[in-house]
Structure formats: structure tokens, C-alpha cells
Amino acid sequence: MSQLSLSWLGLWPVAASPWLLLLLVGASWLLAHVLAWTYAFYDNCRRLRCFPQPPRRNWFWGHQGMLPLHQRTSSSTASWSPGWGMGSC
């Protein structure tokens, strides 16, 4: 019967205090939520893999043709708006 006790682990009956049990429950809850979130993220990624990826386009080539032809060939910058190139899209 003495083999069933926790004394061989160095744990006495007093060692299972409510604070340690609360810490164990809190750590288990946190671990369960992190694992659930991780699996949900994995499942979401797995489901989205069946959709084809759009082709990656270069930023420079993707913005070609956004200006009218007369502004692209104009040598003067007077026709350009003052906010152009300042991040206003």
C-alpha cells in the first residue's frame, strides 16, 4: 500500500495545495486554448490550399498604364498634380 502513495516522488499530501492545483488548471487551460488555436489555424490553411494562388506581379509593372498617355509622354511636370508621389493613391 505504501507504493501507491506519492512519497516516492517527494510529494507529500500537503504539497497538493490549492494554489498548485489552481496553477495546474490554469496552465492546462492555457495549453488547451493554444493547441485549439493552432489546430484551427492549420485547418484554415489546409482548406485554403485548394484555391489557386494569384500570379505575383511586380509593383513597377503592375502600375504601368495607370496614367493617361498624354501624361506619360509629357516632358513638363506642370500637368502633374502636386500630391502625386507623396503617397496619395
Check pLDDT > 70 for residue 33.
Answer: yes
The grid cell for 70 is: 498624354
- Stated pTM of the model: 0.44
CA 24 remoteness from chain centre = 28
Q: How confident is the model at residue 12 (pLDDT cuts 50, 70, 90)?
A: low
Mean pLDDT for 13-40 is: 89
Cβ neighbours for 71, distance < 8 A, ≥ 6 positions apart: 79, 80
Residue pair 79/71 in contact (Cβ under 8 Å)? The answer is yes
More confident residue, 51 or 35: 35
